[in-house]
Amino acid sequence: MTELHDLTALEQGALVSSGAVSPRELTDHYLERAARLDDVGAFVTLTPDAARERADSLAVGTGGPLHGVPTAIKDLNLTAGVRTTFGSAAFDDFVPDVSDGVTLSLEAAGLVSLGKTSTPEFGSPCYTEPDGLPPAVTPWDRTRMAGGSSGGAAAAVAAGLVPVAQGSDGGGSIRIPASCCGLVGLKPSRGRISGFPMYGDPVGLGTAGSIARTVRDAAALLDVLAGRREGDPFWAPEPSSTFLSACDREPGRLRVARFVLPVIADVAVDPECVTAYEDASRLLESLGHEVVDVPVPLPHEAVPVFETCWAVLTALTVVPPEREHLLRPLTRWLAEQGRAVSAPEFGLAIGAMRRYAADALRALAPYDAVLTPTLAMPPQPVGALRDDADPAADFAAQKAFTPWTSAWNVTGMPAVSLPLHWTADGLPVGVMLAARPAEEELLLSLAAQVETAAPWSERRPPRWRPSSSCATRPR
């Protein structure tokens, strides 16, 4: 018996397009699951009335492949009339009067948001443990973290509470939770998705992206989110066709660079992560690709430059003075470091980071893709990284957990985490592929080829329970 949540997002969209299922039926199905089964810390706010009203307003057979499909919006993204806390107790009652470009794009494509997914304070940590709320955990082991900062979104998709969700990624915040939750996490190229209307990242590290169970679903969501808006400071060139159609094209024989040495931390890589990386290398070779060992393309000297920019970005967040005491110790520590950086120092750091990025891009230019582990460890127990008593130790632990992902934020390259490995005790371990800037089509073509060769979508975490509504559809 196949239930609606067993289907991919694209399969659900096809049912809506054909009239076999209505947007309201899908919305009710997932609202029931989200209300009953969210023991993974996925949602901060559910908006059932607005979701049902939205679903009822959608015409059938008039939209794209995800028209009528339920989703959710990260609590960093502005949603007009819906509380947006940015993961912080300092903004626990903030309700914006405008929506950002990500929200508007989802609405324009006919997706139905069920509410806001959990994120850590201002999306900074790589774990999702906001004060006063349950931590976001991986459905594969609910004692372990879902990762961050898009941990709530990944937990929601992995637990079958929504079929697909957007996240945001300034240092790995899509790919980290994708690895922890056994999902596809796609960070697109710099400028691929508009930062309208806030444009709050002058460094260019962050972007929205896709979290999904399959590569095709991730590509379809990228089609929804991608595009330039008037006033954007930078943008990626238009693709030759849809990103979804790229998944149906053979990538050809590619040169794939690989390295396993951590970039931003001197840390021993867990054997499970090395095994995932080596297995992925052999899989790529079996598909006809040339896999070449290369040196780490970013030097250790780039790390403090990145950290300077990261601290200043934290300091740029404007918090009402009377609410600053509600900020977490890690946020206050980072902000203090950021405020100690002078304007000339910040400008010099941005310039240095761009030069390091240029050197890395030149070094990797001969290769069509780059393979690394996604994380240095399988998903860790809740609280294992967080250290409110010593924020410096907290930050160091985060770097040790995720020593590769931020490299592709620095270079602006598209990157995707793929769930190719599980440990003997059932924990997911991702591997990461990156491509040249603006070459998402090639990256998705390769990722889809890998998924076909080593499929993962039929894996189900514990408690992938049937819905009480018993809404079923044949495949």
Looking at the DSSP bridge assignments, the partners of residue 466 are: none
Instruction: Assess whether 240 carries a catalytic annotation.
Output: no
Residue in 351, 354, 350 with CA at minimum distance from that of residue 312: 350
What is the rounded CA–CA span in Å between residue 107 and residue 113? 8
Angle at 50 between CA 45 and CA 56, to 5 degrees: 140
281: annotated active-site residue: no
Contacts of 106 (CB under 8 A, 6+ apart): 71, 73, 113, 166, 224, 225
List the catalytic residue out of 88, 113, 149, 179.
149
Q: How far apart are CA 284 and CA 359, in angstroms?
A: 26
H-run or E-run covering 72: strand 70-74
Is 149 an active-site residue? yes
Choose the catalytic residue: 74, 116, 187, 399.
Answer: 74
How far apart, in whole angstroms, are the C-alpha atoms of residue 105 and residue 111?
9
| Cα–Cα distance for residue pair 262/180, rounded to 1 Å | 18
Sign of CA dihedral 61, 62, 64, 69: negative
Give which of 132, 170, 167 is closest to 146, Cα–Cα: 167
Three-class SS state of 257 = strand
Residue with tokens 């200043």: 312
- Show the CA angle centred on residue 45, arms to residues 183 and 125, nearest 5°: 55
Backbone region of residue 172 per phi and psi (left: phi > 0; alpha: psi in -120 to 50; beta: other values): left
Residue 250, classed as helix, strand or coil, is coil
**The one catalytic residue among 17, 173, 189, 417:** 173
The encoded tokens of residue 417 equal 């985490």
Give me the half-sphere count of Cα atoms (radius 13 Å) on the Cβ side of residue 383.
5
For the record, the structure tokens of 45 come out as 């706010």
Known catalytic residues are 74, 149, 173
